[in-house]
Amino acid sequence: MNTHFNFFMPAEILSGKDIVKTSENIFSSLGKRCLIVTGKSSAEKCGALSDVTDALKKAKIEYSVFNKITENPLTRTCCEGGKKAREFDADFVIGIGGGSPLDSAKAICVYAANEHIINDGIYTEEIKKPPLPLILIGTTAGTGSEVSGVSVLTRENGRKQSVSGKNYYAKYVFADPQYTYSVPMYTTLSTALDAFAHAVESYFSKNHDFLSRKFSCLALSEITPILSKFRNPDFSPDDDERDRLYFASLYAGFALNKGGTCFPHGMGYALTEDYGVPHGLACAVFIPVFLKEAKKGDVDGYSELIKSTGISENELLKLLNVLCKADITIPIEKIEEYRVRWATLKNFKNSPTDFGADDGASLVYNLFGQQ
- Per DSSP, what are the bridge partners of residue 219? none
Binding residue for ligand NAP (CB under 6 A) from 35, 107, 132, 150?
150
- Cα–Cα distance measured from residue 160 to residue 148, given in angstroms and rounded to the nearest whole number: 17
* The one segment of 28-36, 147-155, 226-234, 284-292 that binds ligand NAP by CB under 6 A: 147-155
For residues 288-347, which are near ligand NAP according to CB under 6 A?
Answer: none
CB of 9 to ligand NAP, least distance (A): 12
Closest CA relative to residue 348, chosen from 242, 206, 203: 206
* The one segment of 37-45, 224-232, 302-310, 353-361 that binds ligand NAP by CB under 6 A: 37-45
For residues 136-195, which are near Fe ion according to CB under 5 A?
Answer: 194
The residue ranges of DSSP E strands in 182-272, in sequence order, are: none
* The one segment of 56-64, 186-194, 238-246, 296-304 that binds ligand NAP by CB under 6 A: 186-194
Nearer to ligand NAP, 171 or 295 (CB): 171
Nearer to Fe ion, 194 or 359 (CB): 194
Q: Is 129:171 a contact under the CB 8 Å cutoff?
A: no
Please list, in sequence order, all residues whose beta carbon lies within 8 angstroms of the beta carbon of residue 238, skipping any fewer than 6 positions away: none
* Buried-exposed string 79-99: b where 16+ CB fall within 10 A, e elsewhere: bbbbbbbeebebbbbbbbbbb
- Per DSSP, what are the bridge partners of residue 136? 95, 173
Return the residue nearest Fe ion (CB atom). Answer: 194
Binding residue for ligand NAP (CB under 6 A) from 23, 36, 42, 178?
42
* The one segment of 174-182, 226-234, 238-246, 306-314 that binds ligand NAP by CB under 6 A: 174-182
Would residue 39 be called left, alpha or beta, if left means φ above 0 and alpha means ψ between -120 and 50 degrees? beta
- Cα–Cα distance measured from residue 3 to residue 366, given in angstroms and rounded to the nearest whole number: 39
**Cα-based distances in Å from 26 to 30, 85, 166, 268:** 7, 20, 21, 37
CB of 256 to Fe ion, least distance (A): 8
Binding site for ligand NAP (CB under 6 A): 39-42, 45-46, 71-72, 97-101, 103, 139-140, 142-145, 148, 150-152, 160, 179-180, 182-183, 187, 191, 194, 279-280
Binding site for Fe ion (CB under 5 A): 194
